Structure 1
C-alpha cells in the first residue's frame, strides 16, 4: 500500500483525479480471466412470498351474526369474511384484502346499528312498562280498588 497521504475527497474544482490502488483480489481475478467452462449458466429463481397478514374478521362476523344481526348485516359480513379467507388460502392477497375491508365495514355498521337499536328497545321497554304501571295505578286509584 502506498503511504502517501491523499485527501479523501478532492473538490470538484481541483481537476486532479485520485489514484486508486488495485487490490490483490482484483489482480488475481484479472489474471484468471473469464471462466474456462463452456457449460451453459443456469439460474435458479426462488419466489419467497411475504407473509402478509390479512385479517378476515370471521370471529367478529360470527358474533354479529349471532347477536347483532339487524337487517342481516352480520350474516352478510360473515359471508364476506368467508370469501376473504378463501381468497387468502388461494394466495390472492388483493382479493382477500378487498373482501376483508368490506366485511370490516359491514361489521362496524352491524355493531353500531345493533347497539343503537338495542338501546332504543331498552328505552322503549322501560318507558312503556313505566307508563303501564302508572296507568294501572291511576285506574286503581280512580275506582278505589276492588
Structure 2
C-alpha cells in the first residue's frame, strides 16, 4: 500500500478511508410481456383477416425468445403481436358496430314501410 494514495483501504478499515462499503444489487427487470392470452382471444373471437393468427404466432415467438434469453428479439416480437392484436380488435369492433347499425336501420326502415302500407301490405 502506497501511503501517497488516500483512496486505498488500510488494513484496519473495513470499507476504505471513509468507512463505507459499497454493495451492488442487481434488480431484475420486469419480464417482457408476450400478450399470449390477448392473442388467443383475438384468434378465437376477433380473427379479422387472419390478424389474430399473426398475433398468436408473434406471441408464441416472443415467449420462445424470452425462454432462450433473447430479450431484444422477445421485445420486438411482443411489439408486433401487440400491434396485430390492436388492429384486429379495432377492425372487428368497427365491423361489428357497422353491422349492428345497418341492422337497426333496416328494422326501422321496414317498420316505416309496413306502417305506411298498412298491416297487411296494402291488400
TM-score, normalised to structure 2, is: 0.71
- Please give the secondary structure, in 2, of the residue aligned with 1:127: helix
Q: 1:51 to 1:122 in 2, by over 3 A?
A: same
Q: How many residues align?
A: 102
| 1:143 counterpart residue number | 122
Q: How does 1:44-123 map to 2 (within 5 A)?
A: 50=28, 52-123=30-101
Deviation by residue 1:106-131 (Cα, 9 ceiling, x = unmatched): 11111111111111111011111222
> What SS does the corresponding residue of 2:11 show, helix, strand or coil?
helix
1:136 CA drift (Å)? 3.0
TM-score normalized by structure 1? Answer: 0.60
* Cα distance in 2 between the residues matched to 1:123 and 1:138: 23
1: CA distance between counterparts of 2:104 and 2:44? Answer: 24
1:25 pairs with 2:11: yes
Structure possessing the higher radius of gyration over alpha carbons: 1
Query: Take 1:109 and 1:97, find their aligned partners in 2: how far apart are those partners?
Result: 18
Superposed CA deviations along residues 32-70 of structure 1, whole A, max 9, x for unmatched, are xxxxxxxxxxxxxxxx89455110000111111111111
Instruction: Return the alpha-carbon distance in structure 2 between the equivalents of residues 77 and 90 of structure 1.
Output: 20
* Distance across 2 between alignment mates of 1:119 and 1:67: 15
> Residues 24 and 54 (structure 1 numbering): CA distance in 2 closer, same or farther, change over 3 Å?
closer
> Relative to structure 2, which stretch is displaced further, 89-98 or 127-136?
127-136
CA RMSD of aligned residues (A): 2.6
Q: Unmatched 5+ residue regions in structure 2?
A: 1-5, 13-25
